[in-house]
Amino acid sequence: MITFKDIGLIDYKKAWDYQEILFNKNVDIKKNNICLPLSQQKETKNYMLFCEHPPVFTLGKSGSENNLLINKNTLEKEKISYYKINRGGDITFHGPGQIVGYPILDLENFSLNIREYIHKLEEVIILTLGEYNINAERLKGATGVWLDSDDNNKTRKICSIGVRISRWITMHGFAFNVNTNLKYYDLINPCGFTDKAVTSMEKELGEKQNIREVKNKLRKNFEILF
List the catalytic residue out of 35, 51, 159, 191. Answer: 191
- Chain-centroid distance, C-alpha 8: 15
- With left for phi above 0 and alpha for psi between -120 and 50, is residue 94 left, alpha or beta? beta
Cβ 214 vs Cβ 128: under 8 Å: yes
Of the candidates 101, 102, 104, 63, the one whose C-alpha atom is nearest the C-alpha of residue 82 is 63
* Known catalytic membership, residue 159: no
CB atoms within 10 A of CB 154: 11
Tell me how far apart the alpha carbons of residues 166 and 170 are, in angstroms, rounded to a whole number. 7
SS3 at position 223: helix
Whether the CB-CB separation of 124 and 114 falls below 8 Å is answered with no
- H helix runs in the chain, sequence order: 12-33, 72-77, 114-130, 201-205, 211-225
Give the SS3 label for residue 4.
strand
Query: Where would I find the beta strands (DSSP E) of 60-215?
Result: 81-84, 91-94, 98-104, 136-139, 142-147, 156-166, 169-177, 197-198
Active site amino acids? 191
